[in-house]
Amino acid sequence: MLFSVRLPAAERTLLHCGRLIDVSAGRVREQMTVVVVSNRIAAVESGYVQAGPADTILDLKQRTVLPGLMDLHVHLQLSFGPQIYLERFQLNPEDRALLAAHHARVTLRAGFTTVRDLGGEQVVALRNAIAKGIAEGPRIVAAGRAIAVTGGHADLSNGMRRDLQGDPGPDHGVINGPDDARKAVRQRYKEGADVIKITATGGVLSVAKDGFRPQLTAEEIQAVIETATDLGMTTAAHAHGSEGMKRAVLAGITSIEHGTMMTEEVMDLMKARGTWYVPTLSAGKFTEEKARVPGYYPAIVAQKALAVSPLMMNTFRTAIGRGVKVAFGTDAGVFPHGDNAKEFAYMIEGGMTPMAAIQSATMNASQLLGMEKNLGTLEAGKFADLIAVAGNPVEDITELQRVKFVMKDGQIVVNK
């Protein structure tokens, strides 16, 4: 069975929590009860509320309960490794869809009840299947195809023989000029995307020589963001180099992903304009490690990984020191899905407190998504998305890598 049976609206589930992380207040509360009715939190009360005859009690008195975690940068269709560059010619769309479904299930069971997928054609369909209850996985905010320029980081024809490259255009997320940019956004909207992702600079894992220079013009980025805003969509910019980030921030991008070579000028611009930073330290750690393994990546990718990835941690440390807003994101798919919570330890290594790291994956993440009325904290009226671990993650953040209980939308997924 994928899910437990949904409770009738009149019945309550009482979660007796030994500890509860109140992310809004930034504190851990002892002996609390979360009251769930259907798929919403009805109340959060001090002490252990006595059950009525129709109520169900979940005994989490030996656990720490917190909101369901959110990862705002995943790639559910992908599982990077030496094989992935050949798989472009081997896997059919249905293969990708089944991979994405498997990765979604793994991600949910690791405690991530909401994710933002930043590039995957089949993920929109998976999002819909999960929402209908016919597949198991986190709540998904989907980008569909990312938008790039010809030869840019998300031009999937990079590295192919010339006779196979073709001339991909806006339908495939490849643009050249503002008109193409508008058409590409409208096509993503037509296909059901929730958010628009652009590759504002070169990237590490694409089969192209550049990893950090700007790739979209300021006018192209402006056209993307204006069109997305008109359609009620947020935007995200993959960016390693500072010039590409600056163009995106000045144009009104919602979030900068990776931010590897972010300068203090860009940080201050982001702070002034309220731009979010999604650091993906896990991807940097993993790609640097694997780039040292002969043959794991093509040579053109390995040399970029060794040059770019080691810079991420110092950038993160400087950005949080300057007060840039941080939301949690990992780039899962670059490393194995389900290991998302390792990011918390890297964030603490970079100088963030455990509570602030948890807030980045709950309260902050919901604000970036514009879903703070329904997600991100344990409060009455919000969706019943919550997890539990054995110890106290504020004291040992690695507890979040050992999730014991997951409830999403009022339904129990994991209860160890």
DSSP states of 255-292: EEEE-TT--HHHHHHHHHHT-EEE--HHHHHHHHHHHT
Q: Please, which residues have CB within 8 angstroms of residue 136's CB and are 6 or more apart in sequence? A: 2, 3, 104, 105, 108, 130, 413
Residues 34-79: tens digit of each pLDDT: 999 999 999 999 999 999 999 999 999 999 999 999 999 999 998 8
Question: Does residue 405 register a pLDDT over 70?
Answer: yes
End-to-end Cα separation, the chain, in angstroms = 16
DSSP H or E stretch at residue 36: strand 27-37
Ranges of beta strands (E only) in 342-409 are 386-389, 403-408
Question: Does residue 283 register a pLDDT over 80?
Answer: yes
State residue 82's pLDDT score. 78
Please give the Cα distance from 63 to 152 (Å, whole number): 47
Six token digits for residue 144: 């569909």
State residue 10's pLDDT score. 57
Q: Do 254 and 235 touch, CB atoms closer than 8 A?
A: yes
Domain topology for 12-68+376-415:
Urease, subunit C; domain 1 (2.30.40)
Question: Does residue 204 register a pLDDT over 80?
Answer: yes
Average pLDDT over residues 257-269: 97
Bridge partner residues of 48 (DSSP): none
Q: Write down the CATH superfamily of domain 69-369.
A: Metal-dependent hydrolases (3.20.20.140)
Question: Does residue 218 register a pLDDT over 70?
Answer: yes
Please give the Cα distance from 368 to 371 (Å, whole number): 8
DSSP characters over 146-163: -BEETTSTT-TTTTS-HH
- Min mean pLDDT across 3-12, 87-96, 168-177, 224-233 is at 3-12
Residues 206-217: tens digit of each pLDDT: 777 777 899 999
Q: Do 357 and 348 touch, CB atoms closer than 8 A?
A: yes
Please give the Cα distance from 297 to 58 (Å, whole number): 47
pLDDT band at 278 (very low <50, low <70, confident <90, very high): very high
Mean pLDDT, the chain, rounded, equals: 92
Domain boundaries, the chain: 12-68+376-415, 69-369
The 3-state secondary structure of 55-97, one letter per residue: CEEEEEEEEEEEECEEEEEECCCCCCCCCHHHHCCCCCHHHHH
Q: Do 189 and 235 touch, CB atoms closer than 8 A?
A: no
Q: Please, which residues have CB within 8 angstroms of residue 158's CB and are 6 or more apart in sequence? A: 151, 206, 207, 208
Question: Does residue 412 register a pLDDT over 70?
Answer: yes
SS3 25: coil
Please give the Cα distance from 73 to 360 (Å, whole number): 13
Question: Does residue 9 register a pLDDT over 50?
Answer: no
Q: Residue 319 phi/psi, 5° resolution?
A: -65, -45
Return left, alpha or beta for 133; rule: phi > 0 is left, psi -120 to 50 is alpha, else beta.
left
| Four-residue CA torsion sign, 344, 69, 371, 248 | positive
State residue 79's pLDDT score. 86
State residue 159's pLDDT score. 66
State residue 254's pLDDT score. 98
Average pLDDT over residues 335-352: 98
Question: Does residue 134 register a pLDDT over 80?
Answer: yes
State residue 5's pLDDT score. 39
Return left, alpha or beta for 258; rule: phi > 0 is left, psi -120 to 50 is alpha, else beta.
left
Six token digits for residue 396: 């040992």
Q: Do 257 and 237 touch, CB atoms closer than 8 A?
A: yes
Six token digits for residue 11: 């019945």
State residue 196's pLDDT score. 98
Please give the Cα distance from 56 to 189 (Å, whole number): 42
pLDDT band at 310 (very low <50, low <70, confident <90, very high): confident
